[in-house]
Amino acid sequence: MLRPQEIRIKMQQVSEVPAEIIEQVHQERLLQIWVPKIYGGLGLRLNQGLKVLFNWSKIDGSLGWMLTLCSGANFFSRNLKPPIASKLFSDHKTCFGGSGMIGGTAEKQSDGTFLINGLWHFATGAPHLSHFTLNAKLADNEIPLLDESGNEMIRSFIISKNQAVIIPNWKSMGMRATGTYSFKVENVKVSENYSFVYDEFFTDDVLDKIPFRIFADLTLLVNYLGMASHFAEEAIQIRPHLNLDLFNKQIEDSMEKIIRFADEIESLLYNSKLIISEKQSEIHDYSSALVASLSHQILDVYFQLGIKATHTLILQFTRFSVIILRQRNMQISGGSLKRIK
């Protein structure tokens, strides 16, 4: 197994996670932290999984981001019909990933399948995915299918990697090693068994009932905290006289509060209590305020580090900046899945 420092070295200046690290990811089953045990996954509790994501994000931000989003996509194992989920996750290297955008159409066929076409931006971990997830508008004879309210019907689909064409178009300076690319699909026929609705579950577990907004907020937040902790570590290497005790204490206290949130949420759901909108807003507002606070503090520290930091920390800083912008622009990638029917 590679040590954290070895992983950091191997992650420098790469455009995707190296094969040796991906192999370790599979050996440790890191992509299966949210996959139920009945399908061969680790089936971790929420607080356990959040700690795993924090620790790996602290090692490397791009790697942590890829693990967070791809393990999060594997959460959809719970939305698939059991025979399909069992088949797909019998391979411990199964890795879902995709886009929350509605980028194409699924034309209903006479045999009950769907013909999918479209372009989707951006799928994190694209080079390492075994399957792509996508959202498409349903149509019949090129006429959009409507629900009872007159809205276009949207459904999520899973296709194997050889049915999609990856478009390596990530141009940003930050998050380069996440392998976040667009993908297109042309005339791919998919069985209805490989489609799903986000809030329809075929497993019976407390995690099934966690509101998507909370799951996204908490998993992304521990990712940010891990990167912030790594930043502080590197900053002290450059300027040992810096006093980052308060900064590190804020990260430590924040992780403790996140774990308390996780325990509270699971306890409420275990006792069949609803998560009221006020609690969801409390967690979301806390997450947004914390990320804003950390980003300002990181910028202040960065300006104190001088020219020596331009090589060591610029990628770490831009990773943090890019994910903040992505969160603001997309309001949590995949959030539209809550409304898919």
Instruction: Kindly report, residue by residue over 278-320, the tens digit of the pLDDT.
Output: 999 999 999 999 999 999 999 899 888 877 766 655 555 555 5
CA–CA separation, 37 and 257 (whole Å): 27
Give the chain's end-to-end CA distance (angstroms, integer).
43
The answer on 121 and 74 residing in a single domain is no
**230 and 171 fall within a common domain:** no
Is 109 domain-assigned? yes
- pLDDT given for residue 123 in this prediction: 96
Query: How many angstroms separate the most distant Cα atoms in the chain?
Result: 71
pLDDT at 341: 35
Report which residue type is found at 181: Y
**pLDDT for residue 338:** 37
Q: Which long-range contacts (CB under 8 A, 24 or more apart) does 269-278 make?
A: 269/206, 269/209, 269/210, 270/206, 275/210, 275/211, 275/214
Residues 60, 173, single domain; the answer is no
**Confidence at residue 330, expressed as pLDDT on a 0 to 100 scale:** 42
Q: Are residues 318 and 229 in the same domain?
A: yes
87 in any annotated domain? no
Instruction: From 163, 196, 229, give the residue that closes a domain.
Output: 196
Please state, in angstroms and rounded to a whole number, the distance separating the CA atoms of residues 70 and 72: 5
Q: Which domain holds residue 268?
A: 206-339
241 with 334, same domain?
A: yes
* 306: number of Cβ within 10 Å: 10
Regarding whether 260 and 282 lie in a shared domain, the answer is: yes
Residue 60 DSSP class: -
The answer to whether residue 323 scores a pLDDT higher than 70 is no
| Residue 151, domain member (yes or no) | yes
Beta carbons of 193 and 81 less than 8 angstroms apart: yes
Convert the pLDDT of each residue in 134-166 to its tens digit. Answer: 999 999 999 999 999 999 999 999 999 999 999
Query: Does the structure show a pLDDT above 50 at 339?
Result: no
Distance CA 45, CA 208 (A): 11
Residues 217 and 321 in one domain: yes
Q: Is 60 part of any domain?
A: yes
CATH of the domain at 133: 2.40.110.10
Q: CA 153 to CA 143: how far, in whole Å? A: 11
- Contact of 171 with 196, CB cutoff 8 Å: no
Of 196, 231, 247, the residue that ends a domain is 196
* Residue 191 within any structural domain of the chain: yes
Q: Give a yes or no: residue 121 inside a domain.
A: yes
Residue 86 resides in a domain: no
Do 187 and 281 lie in one domain? The reply is: no
Q: In angstroms, what is the C-alpha Rg of the chain?
A: 20
Specify whether 101 is located in the same domain as 186: yes
Domain end call among 196, 228, 254: 196
Integer Cα distance of 338 and 275 in angstroms: 15
Question: For residue 252, what are the CA distances in angstroms to 38, 222, 228, 245, 256?
Answer: 34, 11, 11, 10, 6
Is 226:68 a contact under the CB 8 Å cutoff? no
Residues 127 and 226 both lie in one domain: no
Distance CA 89, CA 39 (A): 6
Query: pLDDT, tens digit, for every residue of 213-246?
Result: 999 999 999 999 999 999 999 999 999 999 999 9
pLDDT for residue 322:
52
Tell whether 73 and 105 lie within a shared domain: no
Looking at residue 321, what is its pLDDT? 53
Q: What is the mean pLDDT of residues 189-198?
A: 96
Pairing mode of beta strands 181-190, 114-123: antiparallel
Task: Render pLDDT for 19-60 as a digit per residue (tens, 0 to 9).
Answer: 999 999 999 999 999 999 999 999 999 999 999 999 999 999
User: Per the structure block, which two tokens stand in for 217?
Assistant: 């907020």
DSSP 151: P
What pairs with residue 40 in β-bridges? Answer: none
Q: How many domains does the chain have?
A: 3
Among the ranges given (99-108, 171-180, 257-266), the one the predictor scored with the smallest mean pLDDT: 171-180
- Whole-prediction pTM: 0.91
What are the DSSP calls for 48-61, one per residue? HHHHHHHHHHHH-H
User: For residue 90, is it within any domain?
Assistant: no
Shared domain for 64 and 104, answered yes or no, is no
